[in-house]
Amino acid sequence: MNKKPFVKSLMFFIVQIFVYLVVALPFKVMDVIPGFTDIRPVMLLTPIYAVFFGSQGCLSLAVGNLIMDIVSDSLRWSCIAGFVANFLGPFIIYWFWAHISKSPFSLRSAKNLLIHTMLIICAAFLETLIITPAVAIVYPTVDIWLFATTVMLNSSLFPMGLGIPLTILMQEELGFKAYNSK
């Protein structure tokens, strides 16, 4: 049995988590609801990890978010929902481009750019729909509308405003290939 692919995959997984933490850590001080939510530019990695690294990228986003919750003393029961949401949201993007789309991933066409933007919005909505009820049930004193709005905005604006341009740069200029590209 050849262990090199596993070791390479594990190392790449660790690098992805490290990148997540490096991007996330400087902004952890930008609390919206202390201990529950903050401004998260790190969410720009969502479409990048989903498109270029597949389910491993989705898992590294979830693990990176969980590690940030631990490091920032924000680990709560609702983090279970956060872990699930931070995997499933990007997974929608990955699954569409790898298994549903009839054409290879490229944001050169207006149609694909619109589809990708809609996927990001759907992923953000799913993440908000998973995390918000968990926080509301376990912590009823949290301003749930502010919380949901923050999750939705973090999960949509950063991936669209920063993630899409970086995705285009990575594909067009750096030669990254979409995971399972056709």
Q: Indicate the CATH number for domain 37-172.
A: 1.10.1760
Q: For residue 155, what pLDDT is reported?
A: 96
Spatial CA neighbour of 59 closest among 12, 101, 128: 12
> Where do we find the tokens 């594990």?
10
Q: For residue 43, what pLDDT is reported?
A: 96
Domain locations in the chain? 37-172
Spatial CA neighbour of 142 closest among 37, 3, 6: 37
Does pTM surpass 0.85?
yes
Q: For residue 64, what pLDDT is reported?
A: 96
CA distance 150 to 134: 15
- The stretches of the chain forming alpha helices (DSSP H) are 4-24, 45-71, 79-95, 110-138, 144-158, 164-172
Q: What is the mean pLDDT of each run of 10 residues along the chain (182 residues)?
A: 78 95 85 74 96 96 93 81 96 96 92 97 98 92 93 96 96 90 56
Please report how many Cα atoms fall inside a 13 Å half-sphere around the Cα of residue 140, on the Cβ side.
1
CA distance 25 to 91: 23
